[in-house]
Copies of this chain bind each other. A is one copy, B any other.
Amino acid sequence: MGNDKKLVEEITSMEEDFAQWYTDVVKKAELVEYSGVRGCTIFRPAGYAIWELIQKELDARFKEVGVENVYMPMFIPESLLQKEKDHVEGFAPEVAWVTHGGGEQLQERLCVRPTSETIFCDFYAKIIESYRDLPKVYNQWCSVVRWEKTTRPFLRTMEFLWQEGHTAHATAEEAEERTIQMLNLYADFCEEVLAIPMVKGKKTDKEKFAGAEATYTIEALMHDGKALQSGTSHNFGDGFAKAFEIQYTDKDNTLKYVHQTSWGMTTRLIGAIIMVHGDNSGLVLPPMVAPTQIMIIPIQQKKEGVLEKAAEVKEKLGAFRVKVDDSDKSPGWKFSEQEMRGIPLRIEIGPKDIAANQAVIVRRDTREKTIVSLDEIDKRAGEILSAMQKEMLERARAHRDAHTYEAHNTEEFADIVANKPGFVKAMWCGERACEDEIKEKTGATSRCMPFEQKHIADTCVCCGKPARAMVYWGKAY
């Protein structure tokens, strides 16, 4: 038993030190390894396979709403990055510059893309001529680089993987519609696939994307009560179109500027999965994005017929992502590993089970054990996986709702932020000065002005002037 327990004991408990717990889980579940380059992590098979499942599910949803994939160069010439004023101000300080290539100094520096608005705009200016060419609804899956000072696996890394959608439309209405459509698609995806409930809303001007007219966001609450911005969708209006001269000839034969959007989600979602669902035994993966959904662990596997029966059960479970752990480790050690890696179900099967034509299914999240007949193990496993997916979302929602507070005045606000980690709902006057003051005094930032507004009070929680909107606030990753 000493050995069996060792694996688990090496994780710090989340109550003791949530940040250390997180670091322990990503390392012990073998999701990432650190590389020799500061802030760049290596995605190991267990981590990358989660991203592959996210890609597959999300890409299928994209294609249903007319998104086409492309691939753009990773280098952006300095002059191109500078074409849109707000955009370059936002990104220039955090880019990596290529200055030499092929043994020579370049005439013009190239930045490694931190995001690809500029290069998409340059492309659209070339290929869009007429209203017949619209809309363009393109997306790319790639990696981007932002020179972050402090980094954490998945949450904030210098290089990260993401998708970035960039669209061009004939009208402002159509652009706004697409912006909201993609935000809703993101939120639905996170709830249905990742089992993470989202607050949907609009960013304040302070928090919006560099160059955007409006930024919409989905915000999730982690287990420790901190918020995580999980996806954003931007409406650019015709700002970029004017900077890059992206015009089309409309049906009335006049030249018009296109209206644009962009939207992205990143590998940060894996961090959200860990911090929403994980526990002190390690990772807990929602079945839909679990690279292995079921681990069959034979008991007394050297006894005749046990491994054969395990293989038979695996065969019967062919509709799922299933493996048999027939290594020479002890069952206890295997249980710990399966729990650490967040595999949703384990099936224990030994000589006594076989004699009774049954097996034990253990759920990773609740540890609930169900004895099932081998004759219907596929049906039952499917039911338990579905229930787990559903209940993980419900539990995450209940946790979030229990950690969402309303503040009616400055004192109440400060007290909640200091003592009750979670979202704080409070009224705001619309002035940046109040956002700045709240951040300075409490450490909380505005997460979003939610679509679902509620009138909590008449006045701004900070300055007491008339309120313009209810805002979700919180400390954030």
Contact = CB atoms under 8 A, between A and B. Distances in A.
Nearest to A95: B101
Interface in A102-147: 102-103, 110, 112, 119, 122-123, 126-127, 138, 142-143, 145, 147
A72 interface: yes
Contact of A75 (B40, B68, B73, B80): B40
Given A102-B94, A102-B149, A52 B69 contact: yes
Contacts of A102: 93-96, 147, 149
A33 interface: yes
Given A33-B126, A98-B96, A100-B97, A72 B138 contact: no
Given A72-B35, A77-B37, A100 B99 contact: yes
A71 interface: yes
Contacts of A320: none
Contacts of A80: 36
B96 A100 contact: yes
Interface in A33-50: 33, 35-37, 40-45, 48-49
A112 B98 contact: yes
Nearest to A137: B45
A74 interface: yes
Contacts of A98: 96-99, 112
Copies, count: 2
A70 interface: yes
Contacts of A188: none
A170 B275 CA distance: 38
B72 A161 contact: no
A48 B73 contact: no
B93 A42 contact: no
Given A35-B73, A43-B71, A74-B145, A97 B101 contact: yes
B73 A42 contact: yes
A71 B99 contact: no
A159 interface: yes
A71, A76, A96, A122 pick with most chain B CB within 10 angstroms: A71
A440 B259 CA distance: 56
A73 B122 contact: no
Contacts of A143: 71, 74, 142
A89 to B, nearest CB: 13
Nearest to A76: B37
A70 B45 contact: yes
B101 A147 contact: yes
Interface string A55-84: 000000000000011111111110010000
Given A35-B123, A119-B35, A147-B101, A49 B69 contact: yes
Given A42-B72, A98-B112, 4 more contacts: A33-B123, A35-B123, A40-B73, A101-B147
19 contacts: A33-B126, A35-B119, A35-B122, A36-B77, A36-B122, A37-B77, A43-B70, A48-B71, A49-B68, A71-B143, A74-B74, A74-B112, A96-B100, A96-B101, A96-B110, A97-B98, A97-B99, A98-B112, A99-B100
